[in-house]
Amino acid sequence: MNWLDAAVVIAYLVGMIAFGFWGSRRAQDSSDYLVAGRRLGPMLYTGTMVAVVLGGASAVGGVGLGYKYGLSGFWLVGAIGVGVLILSAVFAPRLQRLKIYTVVQMLTLRYGSESIQVSSIVMLAYTLMLTATSTGAYASIFVVLFGIDRWLAILIGGSIVIIYSTMGGMLSITYADFVQFIIMTVGVFFLMVPFGLSHAGGWGAMHDRLGAEFFSLDGMGFESIITYFVIYTLGLLIGQDVWQRIFTARTPKVAQVGGIGASVYIILFGIAGAVAGMTAAVVLPGIEVRDEVYARIATEMLPAGFGGIALAAAVAAMMSTASGGLIAAATVARTDVMPLLRKVLSGAKPRILNAEEAAEQARDNAAREEDVENDMNRNRIWVLCLGIVTMVLSLLVPDVVAALTIAYDILVGGLLIAIIGGLVWTRGNSAGATWSMITGSLVTLAVMAFLEINAEQRFDGVYANEPIYAGLAVSAIVYIVVSLMTKPTAPDVLAAWQDRSANGVREDEEVVTPA
């Protein structure tokens, strides 16, 4: 590895730590720490939204797919862009007006039931595995770049993410993400694509040397394209890590317009990554492991130093996803999971709430009575502890990708209908949502287990699409049938929800704070 490339990556890592120190001086309260004070403008918001969703699968994986399939390799990142587009254009303004911190808080406000909080367990598992997967991804680059063991790479990279996330929270992460967004832009659009096309002899030469299937948008196969939309588009609609970025927007308009801008950028990023992979197919044929294509382009097709920027762009994509998943996991654990566990241990039974109780359920009485600094310290402890947990998961779990797939399947198959249903169908109620989540999750797990047992025959095991299809179908049927067969949501709860999601939080109304 060229020493100049390594120096560029090291400089980037040092810069991320510096953002942690800067953020620790700027973050004044829990709002700053968890949602960047809810004051991001269009530019910062767009950058941080792009950074959190474009992880290792998008950067490294997208280039590798372009190497193998050509232009159709862009569909993985394209599906992510479509998910951000739908979420931003349709739902983001309403979500921003709620002034909440978590997906589960939205469910509590909408359905007025404590039983909804069970979904927080699934959301926590998803965010933890998302962070662990990203940690393992950038550690693999450090192994190659610095020639160190994987455990040391995880320790170094994970510690850097933990430091800047713990010290400054979302405020540090936001500005770090914006820098990562710039590095990703330069690395892919201004370095990998132009230098790649130059080495390949231009677009015309690529046409002559690559097969026609490389220039077809369905070259990877219709089934694979559908898989990306099922997993990534649907998952992005309800992921805590993405929603938490929406909560950072200054206004509903920023959340909508900035998110739409991010979606356009993401789709263009996917096309650029596929083109970069195609140039490598011409210049560097015979690469067997497609996840190595990105690094091979950076080290063999870019000049010294520029290759370091491209590698830093890949690390930036992975670290931004890891830090976003970490702050999301900490927020869900503290705000939703711990109150649920306290109720379970005390023997309290779930209740149906009125409008005032539904709003109060999401508030943290203890945090309002404590001084701000103690509250900030509690947030930091949660981020630190869960950061250590994700590093341990990266070291101990042999296949974090399989674990993330399971978490994603349960997230979509179990929770999607209840969450989206609550946003679009007023007749949906807490009973329908609760049973929808339970049955959808159980069916998803059952089908997944069946396919894994019979994987040696013709199934893809945990990587198959069937678990999500089955979970979504059962979840939707149960949600509709149970909601229609039971009492509607209490009128005062529904009226309060509609007023809050349409008009926002009034000046005399307390904003939901983390538990």
Backbone angles phi, psi at 167, to 5 degrees: -70, -50
Residues paired with 40 in a beta bridge? 249
Q: Which of 465, 467, 410, 460 is nearest to 438 (CA)?
A: 410
Q: How far apart are CA 431 and CA 498, in angstroms?
A: 19
Examine residue 335 and state whether it is found in any structural domain, yes or no. no
Helix (H, G, I), strand (E, B) or coil at 34: helix
Examine residue 510 and state whether it is found in any structural domain, yes or no. no
Burial of 342: CB neighbours in 10 Å, binned 0-12, 13-18, 19+: exposed
Q: Do 133 and 267 fall within a single domain?
A: yes
Please give the residue range of the domain that contains residue 456.
Answer: 399-504
Q: Do 131 and 65 fall within a single domain?
A: yes
Q: Which of 506, 499, 493 is nearest to 359 (CA)?
A: 493
Q: How far apart are CA 485 and CA 308, in angstroms?
A: 60
Q: How far apart are CA 396 and CA 399, in angstroms?
A: 9
What are the tokens at 47? 């950058």
Examine residue 62 and state whether it is found in any structural domain, yes or no. yes
Buried residues in 21-40 as b, exposed as e (16+ CB within 10 A): ebbbeebeebbbbbbbbbbb
Q: Which of 28, 103, 177, 133 is nearest to 415 (CA)?
A: 103
Q: How far apart are CA 411 and CA 396, in angstroms?
A: 23
Domain boundary among 373, 397, 421: 397
Q: Do 215 and 151 fall within a single domain?
A: yes
Q: How far apart are CA 256 and CA 244, in angstroms?
A: 14
Instruction: Round the CA-based radius of gyration of the chain to a whole number and report it.
Output: 23
Residues paired with 352 in a beta bridge? 113
Q: Do 142 and 123 fall within a single domain?
A: yes
Examine residue 437 and state whether it is found in any structural domain, yes or no. yes
Backbone angles phi, psi at 311, to 5 degrees: -65, -40
Q: Find the DSSP H helices in 147-202.
A: 150-185, 193-200
Q: Do 305 and 275 fall within a single domain?
A: yes
Q: Do 404 and 383 fall within a single domain?
A: no
Answering whether pTM is above 0.75, one says yes
In 3-state terms, the chain is what percent helix, strand and coil (to 5)?
80, 0, 15
Backbone angles phi, psi at 436, to 5 degrees: -65, -45
The count of structural domains within the chain is 2
Domain boundary among 358, 380, 397: 397
Which distant-in-sequence residues (6+ apart) come within 8 Å of 158 by Cβ? Answer: 135, 139, 322, 387, 390, 391, 394
Question: What single DSSP character describes residue 510?
Answer: P
Examine residue 449 and state whether it is found in any structural domain, yes or no. yes
Q: Do 349 and 452 fall within a single domain?
A: no
CB 265 within 8 A of CB 46: yes
Q: What is the dihedral of CA 123, 126, 127, 130, to 10 degrees?
A: -170
Specify the CATH number for the domain of residue 293.
1.20.1730.10
Q: How far apart are CA 512 and CA 515, in angstroms?
A: 9
DSSP-assigned letters across all residues of 335-381: IIIHHHHHHHHHTPPP-B--HHHHHHHTS-HHHHHS-HHHHHHHHHH
Q: How far apart are CA 56 and CA 60, in angstroms?
A: 5
What are the tokens at 318? 């992975």
Q: Do 257 and 365 fall within a single domain?
A: yes
Q: Do 233 and 370 fall within a single domain?
A: yes
Domain boundary among 358, 381, 397: 397
Q: How far apart are CA 265 and CA 263, in angstroms?
A: 5
Q: Do 355 and 419 fall within a single domain?
A: no
Examine residue 513 and state whether it is found in any structural domain, yes or no. no
Which distant-in-sequence residues (6+ apart) come within 8 Å of 496 by Cβ? Answer: 109, 355, 356, 358, 359
Q: How far apart are CA 404 and CA 417, in angstroms?
A: 20
Q: Which of 179, 246, 248, 514 is nearest to 380 (CA)?
A: 514
**In the prediction, which pLDDT does 343 show?**
82
| pLDDT by residue, tens only, the chain of 515 residues | 577 888 888 999 998 888 888 877 777 777 788 888 898 999 999 999 999 999 877 888 899 999 999 999 999 999 999 999 999 999 999 999 998 889 999 998 999 887 788 889 989 988 998 898 888 888 878 887 788 888 999 999 999 999 989 988 888 889 888 998 999 999 999 999 999 999 999 999 998 899 888 999 998 888 889 988 988 899 999 999 999 999 999 999 999 999 999 999 999 999 999 999 999 999 999 988 787 889 889 989 999 889 999 999 988 888 888 999 999 999 999 888 988 888 888 877 776 766 666 666 555 433 443 444 457 778 889 999 999 999 998 888 766 667 777 778 889 999 999 999 999 999 999 999 999 999 999 999 899 888 877 766 555 666 678 889 999 999 999 999 999 999 999 898 899 899 999 888 765 454 454 44
Examine residue 509 and state whether it is found in any structural domain, yes or no. no
Q: How far apart are CA 40 and CA 181, in angstroms?
A: 15
Q: Which of 448, 407, 372 is nearest to 132 (CA)?
A: 407
Q: Which of 334, 380, 356 is nearest to 493 (CA)?
A: 356
Q: Do 368 and 485 fall within a single domain?
A: no
Distances (CA, A) of 66 to 59, 202, 231, 313, 463: 11, 16, 19, 18, 21
Q: How far apart are CA 175 and CA 23, in angstroms?
A: 9
Q: Do 392 and 425 fall within a single domain?
A: no
HSE (side-chain half, CA atoms, 13 Å) at 6: 10
